[in-house]
């Protein structure tokens, strides 16, 4: 049996559906049923039900966006750092292998490889870097799992949300048998306030940047596949390979959905942060070589996006 925590959430629901599709015996444990944030109660569940694997899709993301985490720091810390640490300890004591939904939002920017030298660029909105992204995308490289996170409490600036996700990765390092699955900006064909495509369709103005992003079903399939393949435990960037600019996504939306909407962009960072955002946003490119080398098949970002837009369902998914 696979035990799923956070099954009521946007990502947790996708895990539940994927387990259902596979016919895998699983149990969704809700906080209402058992307060799994308490070590003693979680340990009791693990000892009693002896799951073969545990998935932690619980966490505190802030709604409608990470700005809300700045006003709810205790909940953010509890959901994103203390909870995974509690789970890690309970799983280590019981020898339960498990996977944790981490985030790529602990990075900012990308690596630029030119003339045999690699440098980290944290802000890809600089005009000269935008030009590289457009004209020489081959020099833009994603952060690998061994690159130190650079959008954290240790490497400011960061949002409080990102800081707590990075602290969790540190807390889990070397404890028990776990996967840290890094998700980025989930999207799919189901219109939903949490879906990146829905967000772009509803923003008054759009913020142009460069990102690796994760198709929601592709993400959970890839996470489950790592476990099924018995890939080595550790951290994996789980995004659709490649990167994409907001302008490219918006242009795909316009052509596929034939929306009459004219997308407007914030003029620059200064305007975006003055009028639309309270806390810094992570925008980054991740490298997926480790995931793919482990034998996990995952579609390139353009293909996953195009597919989601072709199948676009303009209604909130039931359940
Ligand atoms: N969505 C994204 O854009 C995104 C991107 C990267 C990473 N992630 C990570 O993915 C995970 C799931 O995110 P989501 O988008 O699915 O969030 P969500 O829709 O808000 O769902 C959150 C889930 O976590 C539980 N939860 C909330 N606060 C909690 C707390 N303090 N302690 C224990 N459980 C708590 C909720 O359970 P109840 O039903 O009991 O409230 C719910 O099941 C999080 O770790 C998040 O950091 C999300």
Dist. CA 117–CA 139, nearest whole Å: 10
186 close to ligand 1 (CB < 6 Angstrom): yes
Global pTM value:
0.96
Residues in CB range of 71: below 8 A, 6 or more apart: none
The alpha carbon of residue 254 and the mean position of all alpha carbons in its chain are separated, in whole angstroms, by: 25
Which tens digits make up the pLDDT trace of 64-102? 889 999 999 999 999 999 999 999 999 999 999 999 999
Ligand 1 centroid, distance to 134 Cα (angstroms): 34
Which DSSP string do the residues of 169-234 spell out, in sequence order? Answer: HHHHTTSSSEEEEEE-SEE-SB--TTSHHHHHHH-SSB---EE--EEHHHHHHHHHHHHHTTPPSE
Model confidence at 319: pLDDT above 70 = no
CA distance 6 to 4: 7
The 10s digit of each residue's pLDDT in 189-228 is 999 999 999 999 998 899 899 999 999 999 999 999 999 9
- Over residues 148-166, the mean pLDDT reads 98
Atom 10 of ligand 1, nearest CA residue: 101
Indicate the helix (H) or strand (E) that contains 303: helix 301-310
Q: Is 234 exposed, middle or buried (0-12, 13-18, 19+ CB in 10 A)?
A: middle
Q: Tell me the CA–centroid distance for residue 264 and ligand 1, in Å.
A: 30
What is the token pair recorded at 285? Answer: 């490119």
* d(C-alpha 29, C-alpha 9), whole Å: 12
Mean pLDDT of 21-26: 96
Cα–Cα dist 195/189, whole Å: 9
Question: Which H/E stretch holds residue 26?
Answer: strand 26-29
Q: How confident is the model at residue 316 (pLDDT cuts 50, 70, 90)?
A: low
d(CA 3, CA 157) in angstroms, rounded, equals: 36
3-state class (DSSP) for residue 3: strand
pLDDT (0 to 100) of residue 278:
85
Distance 246 CA to ligand 1 centre (A): 24
Does position 271 have pLDDT exceeding 90, yes or no?
no
Mutational test site, ligand 1, from 11, 235, 237, max ligand atoms within 8 Å of CB: 11
Say how many Å lie between the CA of residue 237 and the centre of ligand 1: 18
**Who wins on pLDDT, 87 or 275?**
87
Q: Is the peptide bond before 64 cis (omega within 30 degrees of 0)?
A: yes
Q: Give the contacts of 273 (CB within 8 A, at least 6 positions apart).
A: 280
**In the prediction, which pLDDT does 317 show?**
62
Average of per-residue pLDDT across 38-55:
98
| pLDDT on residue 31 | 96
Q: 240 CA distance to ligand 1 centroid (A)? A: 21
d(CA 6, ligand 1 centre) in Å: 6
CB 8 less than 6 A from any atom of ligand 1: yes
Kindly report the protein residue whose alpha carbon is nearest to atom 37 of ligand 1: 6
Q: CA-to-CA distance for 32 and 83, rounded, in angstroms? A: 15
Q: 60-74, 137-151, 165-179, 262-276: which has the minimum mean pLDDT?
A: 262-276
- Whole-number pLDDT of residue 258: 87
Half-sphere exposure of 125 (CA within 13 A, CB side): 16
Residue 308 has pLDDT above 60, yes or no: yes
- Which atom of ligand 1 is the closest one to the Cα of 5? 43
């Amino acid at each position: 049996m696979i035990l799923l925590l956070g099954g009521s959430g946007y990502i947790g629901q996708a895990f539940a559906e994927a387990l259902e599709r596979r016919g895998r015996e699983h149990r969704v444990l809700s906080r209402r049923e058992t307060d799994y944030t308490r070590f003693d109660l979680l340990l009791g569940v693990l000892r009693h039900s002896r799951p073969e694997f545990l998935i932690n899709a619980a966490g505190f993301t802030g709604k409608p966006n990470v700005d809300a985490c700045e006003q709810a720091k205790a909940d953010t810390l509890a959901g994103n750092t203390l909870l995974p640490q509690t789970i890690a300890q309970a799983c280590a004591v019981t020898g339960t292998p498990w996977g944790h939904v981490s985030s790529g939002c602990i990075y900012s920017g990308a690596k630029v490889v030119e003339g045999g030298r690699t440098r980290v660029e944290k802000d890809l909105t600089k005009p000269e870097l935008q030009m590289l992204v457009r004209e020489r995308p081959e020099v833009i490289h994603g952060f690998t799992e061994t690159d130190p996170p650079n959008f954290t409490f240790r490497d400011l600036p960061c949002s409080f949300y990102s800081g707590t996700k990075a602290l969790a990765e540190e807390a889990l390092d070397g404890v028990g048998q776990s996967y840290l699955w890094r998700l980025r900006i989930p999207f799919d064909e189901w219109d939903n306030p949490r879906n990146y495509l829905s967000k772009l369709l509803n923003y008054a103005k759009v913020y142009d940047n460069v990102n690796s992003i994760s198709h929601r079903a592709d993400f959970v399939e890839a996470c489950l596949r790592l476990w099924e393949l018995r890939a080595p435990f550790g951290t994996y960037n789980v995004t659709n390979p490649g990167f994409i600019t907001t302008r490219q996504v918006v242009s795909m939306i316009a052509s596929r959905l034939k929306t009459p909407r004219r997308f407007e962009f914030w003029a620059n960072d200064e305007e975006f942060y003055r009028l639309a955002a309270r806390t810094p946003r992570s925008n980054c490119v991740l490298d997926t070589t480790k995931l793919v080398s482990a034998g996990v098949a995952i579609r390139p970002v353009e293909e996953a996006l195009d597919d989601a837009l072709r199948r676009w369902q303009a209604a909130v998914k039931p359940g």
